[in-house]
Amino acid sequence: MGEIDWILCPFCGSKTRTKIRKDTVLINFPLFCPKCKQKSLIEAKEFHIYDGENTETYFSYNPQYANTVEHLKEADMDDENVYSPIDYNGQSPIPKCQAITEMDADVKAVEYFIRTGKLYPGIDWSYSS
């Protein structure tokens, strides 16, 4: 029947009363946690659960151009000088403050995340929620 796992509460991390298969896709699914009594609308795909109210996005940042999330928010993204000069056949422009300048570190970060599920400590990270 395929791999099956519990949906964990996005608030307290406890098992809910709902299980999903790896190929299950949920959109705006009403989830209730019997432990913390919280209700939320979630999305799920390949065992990844997304809660629109508690979503965090992590990204690398280049401290030469921005050392806090506040600087990223203040940047004028219409100014082409904000973007890295990298051009890879149709790739979206990347702000200099989010461009990784060492490709070896980028590869290590991806491998580290795949193995551990954690952010690589050799790169500067920031997040927005």
Q: CA-to-CA distance for 33 and 79, rounded, in angstroms?
A: 46
- Mind listing the pLDDT tens digit of every residue in the chain (129 residues)? 668 888 888 877 788 999 999 888 888 899 998 888 888 888 887 777 776 655 556 677 777 776 555 665 676 767 777 777 765 566 666 777 777 777 788 888 888 877 877 788 878 776 655
97, 65 contact by CB (below 8 A): yes
pLDDT at residue 18, as a whole number: 92
Query: What is the torsional sign of CA 39, 42, 48, 50?
Result: negative
Claim: this prediction has a pTM higher than 0.75: no
